[in-house]
């Protein structure tokens, strides 16, 4: 099934965004990509609204505010599932070395939580078609895509 997915290169890895997007380009067609130089608080809080109320929500969203990210939208066959595999598990310490998170991060979710900071896991990606629709709508002022 042809799908679209949303990818966000996180602030700690923006300097590697060209390499990361080139890696992803091998697996799907990039529809658009854009750098956002200073993430607004309301946008990142809306993006991660499913985590509101969790102990890490504040320090996670704070780590984005005023910092750069790179956004991209990809399209391809079963791309959501494929990008979940290609980008790898949330915890980089558990990510195989051939995944984006395994290749570009040596952080650990356990260490990050003990230090009360977000895990440096390189990128966010949509986990479903409804989530792609919601996320791309949240970032609609930055993305050049048809809805």
CATH code where residue 116 lies: 3.30.70.141
How many structural domains comprise the chain?
A: 1
Do residues 102 and 49 make contact, with C-beta atoms less than 8 angstroms apart?
no
Question: Which residue of the set 13, 47, 51, 124 is catalytic?
Answer: 124
Does the residue 147 lie in any domain? no
**In angstroms, how far is CA 80 from the centroid of its own chain?**
12
pLDDT at residue 23 in the model:
97
Report which of 88, 45, 84, 89 is spatially closest to residue 63, judged by C-alpha positions. 45
pLDDT at residue 145 in the model:
80
Does the residue 116 lie in any domain? yes
Does the residue 65 lie in any domain? yes
pLDDT at residue 147 in the model:
59
Does the residue 6 lie in any domain? yes
pTM: 0.94
Range of the domain at 27: 2-138
Q: Is 124 a catalytic residue?
A: yes
Does the residue 47 lie in any domain? yes
Does the residue 143 lie in any domain? no
- Which residues are within 8 A (CB) of 111 and not within 5 positions of it... i.e. 6 or more apart? none
Mean pLDDT for each consecutive 10-residue tract of the chain (147 residues)?
95 98 97 97 97 92 97 97 97 97 96 93 97 96 82
Does the residue 22 lie in any domain? yes
Does the residue 144 lie in any domain? no
pLDDT at residue 108 in the model:
96
């Amino acid at each position: 099934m042809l799908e679209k997915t949303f990818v966000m290169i996180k602030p700690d890895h923006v300097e590697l965004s060209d390499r990361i997007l080139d890696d992803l380009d091998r697996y799907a067609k990039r529809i658009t990509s854009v750098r956002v130089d200073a993430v607004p608080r309301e946008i990142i809080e809306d993006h991660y609204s499913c985590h509101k109320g969790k102990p890490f929500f504040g320090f996670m969203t704070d780590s984005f505010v005023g910092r750069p990210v790179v956004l991209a939208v990809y399209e391809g066959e079963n791309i959501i599932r494929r990008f979940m595999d290609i980008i790898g598990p949330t915890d980089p310490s558990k990510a195989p070395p051939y995944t984006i998170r395994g290749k570009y991060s040596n952080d650990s979710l356990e260490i990050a939580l003990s230090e009360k900071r977000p895990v440096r896991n390189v990128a966010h990606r949509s986990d479903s078609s409804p989530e792609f629709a919601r996320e791309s709508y949240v970032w609609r002022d930055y993305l050049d895509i048809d809805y």
